[in-house]
């Protein structure tokens, strides 16, 4: 027996239409390359999205075809988001920080028909222009004349493109399972892989992210996404803010600039913001140096990597701002877990509270999680047992574009995150390592990250990496590679003695190699793949 309910499809269009009708007066404020502070309303944003949709239709873009963007967070990027998805095209956001050859691969693999490009990224594309054969033309995200000097073929500036178009568009009724957006993972191995989001996935993800124990957005919040719109839809904030009518503040190209962030927070009354830890370090450093304040700010959402406790404490004690950890992946739209206090939080000791808050939080309703051992057996949620983290849910990637499932999905349809995690008895997840970085010692796992954190806590150590090196008896044993602070000295024995009492005895690395520097990826992450390659001939003494 079926329910007798209207068959209304979950589409990004429904978010846009709701915002236009009920929150048309809410503001969108942007810093852009050409304007220090642009300001308009959702009503104007969506009128311009309609003009863009008309322009794209005029260019002959068909349902399901990809439109690429290389752009910062600002109002024009927002217009491209809604115009493309709601017209039935696919908004393909591209990370401009990738290597040029990766960008080229991604554009060609997605077969982007047009690229919308911030002026800052034009030189990057000019170097590639002869190789982006699928791209018919380039729209420069700037004022009239912005495309004048580029050598990119068939280039037009955004304002000229949409200038003559009507303010309304006959938005199609879309199937909720149709593609609305696309983002490639910046994997450390092999080529980037394309995740294709459906309208349904992003609407459900939006509802989930809006919950009070998640992002908790409402009409009276002012939200500033410092997480880039080229990375997993800025954690869905553009959709969520529109759905509830929250004022949106976009820092444009000034994402990492503490001065701009403080000025926007104070000037626009930002109440909640989201981004990676390095951004918050820049903001706090600026506040510290200038004595300026962030009086309206109440919440900071941190993802991308673990937020150091010192940053959380400084926000809380100096500025009355609560920091929430979150965790997700490109393959998860991205929200997986969010850290809000448990019901019994107030009854916990201060250290128990911190232990909870430093975890990445609990799965938001909609996401299922489990941790399994090497044999696939589910592990207990005791906060100690750690295993491969698997996830399942209606906004999680089922396969990659033109690749298929590959080995990222198990036979029951769970997605293998590639992360190693513990889950405590309340369901709070802590990410302890990457599956490929964990050291498999005699069938047991050792967390490389725990060992690295212990090593860098030594005052002489600037950076540390632990990899599994071949061992004739245990298959692998931990090898610690250390960069010392300039002028510091440390012996192998002193370094190893440092671990005593801090980790289990059998976790202590078997050897230490002192190096001048460690290899990093294009996005600044430690590249253990390159380190393993560099150390492949190493043998324990």
- Residues 361-420 interacting with a second copy (rule: CB under 8 A): 362-363, 365-366, 368, 392-401, 413, 415
Note whether 254 binds a second copy by CB under 8 A. no
- How far apart are CB 245 and a second copy at their closest, in Å? 6
The catalytically annotated residue of 445, 474, 498, 507 is: 445
Note whether 173 binds a second copy by CB under 8 A. no
HSE (CB half, 13 Å, CA atoms) of 311? Answer: 23
Question: In this chain, which of 17, 44, 136, 444 binds a second copy, going by CB under 8 A?
Answer: 17
Helix (H, G, I), strand (E, B) or coil at 281: helix
Measured CA to CA in angstroms, residue 240 lies from 160, 233, 422, 464 at distances of 30, 11, 30, 39
Beta bridge partners of 461: 484
Sorted by sequence, the CB contacts under 8 Å of residue 253 that are 6+ apart come out as 31, 32, 33, 72, 118, 120
Residue list 502-521, contact with a second copy (CB under 8 A): none
Note whether 5 binds a second copy by CB under 8 A. yes
Is there a catalytic annotation at residue 445? yes
- How far apart are CB 85 and a second copy at their closest, in Å? 11
- How far apart are CB 267 and a second copy at their closest, in Å? 17
Question: In this chain, which of 131, 220, 289, 309 binds a second copy, going by CB under 8 A?
Answer: 220
Note whether 326 binds a second copy by CB under 8 A. no
Q: Of 138 and 197, which CB lies nearer to a second copy in the complex structure?
A: 197
Question: In this chain, which of 21, 39, 149, 520 binds a second copy, going by CB under 8 A?
Answer: 21
Is 280:251 a contact under the CB 8 Å cutoff?
no
Is there a catalytic annotation at residue 476? no
- How far apart are CB 43 and a second copy at their closest, in Å? 12
Residue list 66-105, contact with a second copy (CB under 8 A): 90
- How far apart are CB 327 and a second copy at their closest, in Å? 15
Q: How many chain residues interact with a second copy (CB under 8 A)?
A: 77
User: How far is C-alpha 22 from the geometric centre of its chain's CA atoms?
Assistant: 29
Binding segment toward a second copy, per CB under 8 A, in 113-121, 237-245, 469-477, 520-528? 237-245
Residue list 38-67, contact with a second copy (CB under 8 A): 63-65
- How far apart are CB 177 and a second copy at their closest, in Å? 5
Note whether 212 binds a second copy by CB under 8 A. yes
Is there a catalytic annotation at residue 185? yes
Is there a catalytic annotation at residue 474? no
Spell out a b/e string for 407-418, using b for 16 or more CB atoms within 10 Å of the CB, else e: ebbeeeebbbbb
Measured CA to CA in angstroms, residue 223 lies from 60, 219, 253 at distances of 35, 10, 17
Going by C-alpha positions, the residue among 511, 512, 526 that lies closest to residue 433 is: 526
DSSP structure string for 231-267: SGGGGGHHHHHHHHT-EEEE-BTTTT-HHHHHHHHHH
Measured CA to CA in angstroms, residue 421 lies from 88, 209, 377, 385 at distances of 38, 22, 14, 8
Beta bridge partners of 372: 378, 388
Note whether 219 binds a second copy by CB under 8 A. yes
Give the number of other Cβ atoms within 10 Å of residue 154's Cβ: 11
User: How far is C-alpha 267 from the geometric centre of its chain's CA atoms?
Assistant: 26
The catalytically annotated residue of 129, 370, 436, 440 is: 440
Residue list 174-203, contact with a second copy (CB under 8 A): 175, 177-180, 195-201
Which residues are annotated as catalytic?
185, 331, 440, 445
């Amino acid at each position: 027996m079926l329910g007798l309910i209207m068959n209304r499809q979950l589409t990004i269009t429904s978010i846009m239409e709701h915002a236009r009708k009920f929150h048309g007066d809410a503001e969108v404020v942007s810093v852009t390359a050409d304007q220090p502070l642009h300001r308009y309303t959702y009503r104007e944003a969506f009128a311009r999205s309609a003009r863009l949709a008309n322009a794209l239709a005029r260019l002959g873009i068909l349902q399901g075809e990809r439109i690429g963007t290389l752009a910062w967070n600002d109002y024009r990027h927002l217009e491209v988001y809604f115009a493309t998805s709601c017209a039935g095209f696919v908004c393909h956001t591209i990370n401009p920080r990738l290597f040029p050859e990766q960008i080229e691969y991604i554009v060609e693999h997605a077969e982007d028909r047009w690229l919308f490009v911030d002026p800052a990224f034009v030189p990057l594309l000019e170097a590639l222009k002869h190789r982006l054969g699928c791209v018919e033309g380039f729209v420069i995200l700037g004022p009239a004349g912005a495309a004048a000097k580029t050598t990119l073929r068939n280039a037009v500036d955004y304002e000229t493109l949409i200038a003559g178009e009507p303010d309304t568009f006959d938005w199609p009724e879309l199937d909720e399972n149709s593609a609305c957006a696309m983002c490639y993972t910046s994997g450390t191995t092999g080529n980037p892989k394309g995740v294709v989001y459906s309208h349904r996935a992003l609407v459900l993800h939006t509802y989930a992210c809006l919950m009070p124990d998640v992002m908790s957005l409402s009409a009276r919040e002012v939200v500033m996404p410092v997480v880039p719109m080229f990375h997993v839809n800025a954690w869905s904030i553009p959709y969520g803010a529109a759905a509830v009518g929250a004022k949106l503040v976009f820092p444009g190209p000034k994402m990492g600039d503490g001065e701009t962030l403080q000025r926007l927070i104070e000037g626009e009354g930002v109440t909640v913001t989201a981004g990676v830890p390095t951004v918050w370090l820049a903001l706090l450093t600026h506040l510290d140096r200038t004595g300026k304040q962030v009086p309206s700010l109440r919440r900071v959402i941190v993802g991308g990597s673990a937020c150091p406790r010192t940053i959380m404490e400084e926000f809380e004690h100096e500025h009355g701002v609560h920091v929430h950890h979150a965790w997700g992946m490109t393959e998860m739209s991205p929200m997986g877990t969010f850290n809000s206090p448990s019901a019994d939080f107030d009854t916990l000791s201060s250290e128990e509270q911190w232990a909870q808050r430093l975890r990445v939080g609990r799965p938001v309703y909609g996401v299922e999680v489990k941790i399994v051992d090497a044999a696939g057996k589910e592990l207990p949620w005791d906060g100690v047992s750690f295993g491969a983290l698997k996830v399942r849910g209606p906004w999680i990637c089922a396969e990659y574009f033109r690749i298929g499932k590959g080995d990222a999905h198990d036979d029951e349809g769970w997605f293998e995150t590639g992360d190693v995690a513990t889950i405590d008895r309340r369901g709070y997840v802590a990410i302890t390592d990457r599956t490929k970085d964990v050291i498999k010692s005699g069938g047991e796992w050792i967390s490389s990250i725990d060992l690295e954190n212990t090593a860098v806590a030594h005052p002489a150590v600037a950076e540390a990496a632990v990899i599994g090196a071949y061992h004739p008896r245990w298959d692998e044993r931990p090898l610690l590679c250390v960069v010392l602070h300039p002028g510091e000295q440390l012996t192998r024995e002193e370094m190893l003695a440092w671990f005593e009492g801090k980790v289990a005895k059998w976790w202590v690395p078997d050897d230490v190699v002192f190096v001048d520097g460690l290899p990093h990826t294009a996005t600044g992450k430690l590249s253990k793949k390159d380190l393993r390659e560099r150390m492949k001939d190493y043998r324990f003494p």
